[in-house]
Amino acid sequence: MQAQQLSGLAKFQPGVSEIVDAGSGVQIDLGLSQAVPWRVRVLDDPARLVVDFREVDWTGLADMPQASDAVVAMRAGVFRPGWSRLVLELAAPMQVTSAEMRTKGAVGVHLRLEPITEAAFAALAALPEPAEWTLPQAAVLQPAPKKPGKLVVVLDPGHGGIDPGAERDGQNEKTLVLKFARELKEALLRDGGFDVVMTRDEDVFVPLETRISIAHQAGASVFLSLHADAIAEGDAVGATIYSLAADASDEASAALAERHDRDDLLAGVDLSQQDDLVAEVLMDMARTDTSPRTERLGMALETAIKAQGVKMHRHPRQQASFSVLKSADIPSILLELGFLSSERDLKRLNDPKWRETMAAAVVSGLKAWAKQDAGLQALPLK
């Protein structure tokens, strides 16, 4: 399909859209306000249909009639600048037997899906992305030369675009943490001792691996991922500091790490590839130096947050296998600002004064850690 440059943003039309059973298969109609360039493919583990558009406002997706058990979940949003993505998780493997953009009458995409064997579906899902459709590489950053005493901090607002993160009372995690990240960036820059890079500064989807690549290209001294998740079980309240570990501190931590990776997977990212043995050994060697530095970073942040009187979780420092923390050579922390499953935490996240206090605590913690780390790095090896 020829890429067509359109000046307007197409809007989803739920009133002329539906997902219904049709014979042995499924019929999907997606009404749009205007025709746009698009493409469709399937991905595996879990089975899902992915439809990319340039570009669609998906407001009203939850109102679309859904009368088929073949589709078990839907999500949509910005996937990259200028492009949006709709992901339909399928109950069983299916193939696209018909796909067209209708431009007469009710404008929109018409899809027909039919059952297929798991082997055949896996083969379709394994087809390589066309070069122009592959996931975007991390932006080539040209940071200014490091100034003496400057700490390069990469702030990573979690989720974004197609991935809203946790949601409650009409609010979502991706928006709340981006707001805080912007305010924290300003606080760090006002201090004068930091250079700051954001993995995203707008509502776009950034794959986990790209977030780490951005940190490396920026020459990061610290990688700080910001979240505000929700935990269904238990009474999770207060800020929590996570560092990387193969074994999670508890079941809740393990569930959070699994959900973060699953969110990336559902957005169309393949996390199945494992490091080969040589790479794994090299990363373990690098982490021998990085891990204690990360632990000291977590301790410094905990001390500073408590000193500001900010509410912390009853277990303020925990560990889990978050993929976004797996950079072997950069001290990396995931900071849960609070939990959207807690009404009190949600109220705090919406309080500008609370965010200002938390930002000041993070700045203080980073400064304390940087001073300690520099002193330890300067010690002669024995």
| CATH code of the domain covering residue 121 | 2.60.40.3500
346: its two tokens: 């949600």
Give the pLDDT score at 319: 82
| 77 and 220 together in one domain | no
Does any domain span residue 263? yes
77 near 167, Cβ under 8 Å?
Answer: no
Domain boundary among 95, 129, 163: 129
How many domains, the chain? 2
330: its two tokens: 């950069």
CA distance 1 to 39: 8
Q: Apex CA 35: angle with CA 32 and CA 39, to 5°?
A: 95
Does any domain span residue 135? no
| 308 and 260 together in one domain | yes
Does any domain span residue 236? yes
Residues of the chain with pLDDT > 70, as a percent, come to 77
CA distance 215 to 184: 17
| 121 and 211 together in one domain | no
| 198 and 93 together in one domain | no
| 104 and 194 together in one domain | no
Give the pLDDT score at 347: 95
Residues 6+ away with beta carbon under 8 Å from 58: 12, 76, 77, 84, 86
CA distance 313 to 296: 18
CA distance 89 to 46: 7
Does any domain span residue 3? no
Domain boundary among 74, 96, 129: 129
Mean pLDDT by 10 residues, the chain (382 residues): 45 93 94 89 91 87 90 86 87 94 88 95 85 52 56 94 86 95 97 95 84 88 92 75 68 54 52 45 55 92 96 88 73 92 93 97 96 76 47
Give the pLDDT score at 244: 79
| 268 and 355 together in one domain | yes
| 360 and 224 together in one domain | yes
CA distance 362 to 188: 9
Give the pLDDT score at 234: 53
72: its two tokens: 């078990």
**pTM (two decimals):** 0.70
Does any domain span residue 361? yes
Q: Could you tell me the CA-to-CA distances from 308 to 10, 298, 343, 364 in Å, in that order?
A: 47, 16, 21, 10
* Domain encompassing residue 302: 151-378
Does any domain span residue 260? yes
- Give the tens place of pLDDT for each residue, 266-280: 555 544 444 444 444
Q: Apex CA 260: angle with CA 242 and CA 210, to 5°?
A: 95
| 193 and 341 together in one domain | yes
**What 3-state class would DSSP assign to 90?**
strand
Domain containing residue 217: CATH number? 3.40.630.40
| 322 and 272 together in one domain | yes
| 225 and 373 together in one domain | yes
| 220 and 161 together in one domain | yes
Residues of the chain with pLDDT > 90, as a percent, come to 46
| 59 and 185 together in one domain | no
CA distance 119 to 348: 49
